Chains A and B, each alone.
Chain A
């Protein structure tokens, strides 16, 4: 018998498969916003595992996203010919393999950054992850294989190569898998350890829990999904430039998590959708948008520090099944 939660996951992936064929027929602008929203859901939900549930303030999510984006694009562009022929030039095979590669590359970088720096707390960890994001950007700008400052172009997308259906399907599926993954991870006796780490590290260690191991696991899993999201982003935009993964991008994801309520499932998903949609009419404002973000964040902290979509009192009870 399949557990109820997994039936939900399978069901939603089937829905994604049923919805995917509309990708070629709907307006490309609408498709663009839809894909942007699902990518943001994946990013925000995965960051929520690190910043929300485990309480480790990371500002490096755009960095992990960049690693995943470039790694997956390398496969479909730079090594596109041999990679494509290996998989029979089937986008429905090429894309998931490329995404997985992006996720794994990001997870490895998450391990490399996390293992030494997760001994640090609060502000210090934030600074290290911020530094990581900047280092990634500089590396990308200076490696010729990755296109340097010009960036990487010619990535297959819904527009240029008719990858609409696979891109939409794997966007939706990734968002579903990420939501399920983070939920399932936290909703267990094992997973309550993440929340315990966020609450009180000394007390958590006194319960026989290796806090470092939990923090690294959160970091690696979070980075993995950020990497997959990066791969999806690459195959939505068609070109990558190092500046697309700067500090502002990390902040955007952090805002989604805080707006939705740190360590809340539904709220963070809602915030990711809301901020993606709200961004569209604000595009004319250009960089002024970030000021709006800052004001939003300050207002939120003053009025609803628990998150916009969170009821003041929450209840966590026994496992459902």
Chain B
């Protein structure tokens, strides 16, 4: 992968559109996320934020426009290929693997950095065992950073809601991404958990030196940590700027307060 792309943004959306039948869920949205930048994506319910995530991660293919990651076009690639390129994500409605332990949820995400395959699993030679030991150590190390190591053997479902959300972030980090997409990580958290989460997100960005695109309803969280914010409404981008600019933007205020719709 190119490391000289410091001038051009890491993620680049150019006039991206997706239609589901007659409904245009995302319409001609252009946006960028720079290297090691923390960008927010906000908008009222149904604005198309999660659809944007699904477009960026290859779950949906755009019907118009193009997406580039590290200057490479991502059109037509399946989600696992995009993760391979360096895009990892969490899900709005937590999607951990319920049959797997906390440890294995993270371990399985090391797949991309695995030299062994089916045959090595069967022969279990020294190379296989060495690699399994290395992955075990790295998994424990990651879990320890997020204070989850004591739940190692527990089923992922037995964790508290906040811990499950954090485990999803750990799992995404195990793929060693350059861009991390967080889909409403603060949903269902209490105020003190939210403060911890804000610290955690900033810590993750610095520690792992990655870019983060954050979808979030909680304005305190978004305004508190994002360097730049994109605002969507009805699938269109209505504003972009720093938290201060967004706070005073008339179009954003209208979208959130100007109609008979609350800011969720």
Task: Please list the residues of chain A having a beta carbon within 8 angstroms of any beta carbon in chain B.
Answer: 3, 5-6, 181, 184-185, 187-193, 195-196, 198-200, 202-211, 217, 221, 263, 313-319, 321
The answer to whether A209 and B80 touch across the interface, beta carbons within 8 angstroms, is yes
Q: A5 to chain B: which residues have CB within 8 Å? A: 124
Residue B122 interfacial (CB < 8 Å): yes
A interface footprint on B107-141 (CB within 8 Å = 1, 0 otherwise): 11111101011101110100011011001100000
Q: Are A190 and B118 in contact (CB under 8 A)?
A: yes
Contact B89 A206 (CB under 8 A): yes
Residue B153 interfacial (CB < 8 Å): yes
From B83, B108, B122, A205 is in contact (CB under 8 Å) with B83
**Residue B103 at the A interface, CB < 8 A?**
yes
Give how many A-B residue pairs fall within 8 Å (CB-CB).
127
Determine if A190 and B120 form an interchain contact, defined as CB atoms under 8 angstroms apart: yes
Complex CA gap A321/B98 in Å reads 24
- Cβ A316 vs Cβ B108 within 8 A: no
Bound-state Cα–Cα, A192 to B99, Å: 10
- Output the least CB separation between A306 and chain B (Å): 11
Show 11 residue pairs from A and B whose CB-CB distance is below 8 angstroms, ordered by the A residue.
Answer: A184-B121, A188-B128, A191-B121, A195-B108, A200-B97, A203-B91, A205-B80, A209-B80, A313-B155, A317-B152, A321-B129
Q: Does B61 contact A (CB under 8 A)?
A: no
List B contacts of A221 (CB < 8 A).
118
Closest to B117 in A: A190
Which chain B residues border A191 with CB–CB below 8 Å? 118, 121
* Docked-complex contact B100 and A190, CB < 8 angstroms: no
B59 surroundings in chain A (CB, below 8 A)? 202
Total contacting residues, chain B, CB less than 8 A: 46
Contact B97 A316, beta carbon cutoff 8 Å: no
- B121 & A185 in contact (Cβ 8 Å cutoff): yes
Closest chain-A Cβ to B258's Cβ sits at a distance in Å of 36
- By CB atoms of chain B within 10 A, which of A200, A205, A313 has the most? A205
Among A181, A198, A208, contact of B83 (Cβ-Cβ < 8 Å): A208
Would A184 and B91 count as touching, CB distance under 8 A?
A: no
Whether A207 lies near B83 (C-beta < 8 A) is yes
Residues of A within 8 A of B216 (CB): none
- Is B95 close to A, CB under 8 A? yes
**Least Cβ–Cβ distance between B138 and chain A, in angstroms:** 10
Closest 6 CB pairs of A and B: A208-B83, A205-B79, A203-B95, A208-B112, A199-B97, A188-B121
Q: Once bound together, how far apart are the Cα atoms of A287 and B21, in whole Å?
A: 50
CA separation between A321 and B153, bound complex, in Å? 16
Also in contact, A316 and B100, with CB within 8 A (given A207-B175, A208-B175): yes
CA distance A315 to B83 in the complex (A): 29
Interface check B17, CB cutoff 8 A: no
* B178 interface contact, C-beta 8 A: no
Q: Assess whether B193 is interfacial by the CB under 8 Å rule.
A: no
How far, in angstroms, from A6 to B131 measured CA to CA in the complex? 18
Q: What's the least CB distance linking A131 to chain B, in Å?
A: 27
Instruction: Determine whether B96 belongs to the interface, using a CB cutoff of 8 Å to chain A.
Output: yes
A317-B103 contact, Cβ under 8 Å, with A203-B96, A203-B97, A217-B118: yes
